[in-house]
Amino acid sequence: MSLEFEAASLDAVVGLYSVIHLPRPEQKVIISRIGEWVKPGGYLLINLGGDDNPGSYEDGWLGGDRMFWSAFDKKTCKELVEAAGFELLEANIKQDLKDAPFLWILAKKSREV
């Protein structure tokens, strides 16, 4: 959450299997900040949780420590990306091998926010 870039300085942002490990309030913030960082006409490729999850943990995930996940429902996820100034080009749920659904979004920055 401490990551900083200058406004409209990035052509694209790719965030895979990362935002889902933030609490939902922080997900809202980081998606909004990504909207500030990406230039108009730039792109966002991101995957978010596919099911509403206010927050959950799994102990010993991949043989390691305790892992945290959270997600909004897919409608809210799409709205957050659009509110950050992006036009959705693709937004599809894909099932992970462990049966976890993810919302994959490809979006184009359409305006300044």
pLDDT in tens, 37-66: 999 999 999 999 989 999 999 898 888 889
- What's residue 21's pLDDT? 95
Q: Which CATH class is domain 10-54+65-109?
A: alpha beta
| CA–CA distances in Å: residue 100 to residues 14, 51, 107 | 20, 9, 22
The domain spans of the chain are 10-54+65-109
- Cα 97 to the center of its chain, rounded Å: 20
Look at residues 85, 69, 80 and name the one whose alpha carbon lies nearest to residue 19: 69
pLDDT in tens, 7-30: 999 999 999 999 999 999 999 999
Least confidently predicted of 42-51, 72-81, 94-103: 94-103
What rounded mean pLDDT belongs to the chain?
Answer: 94
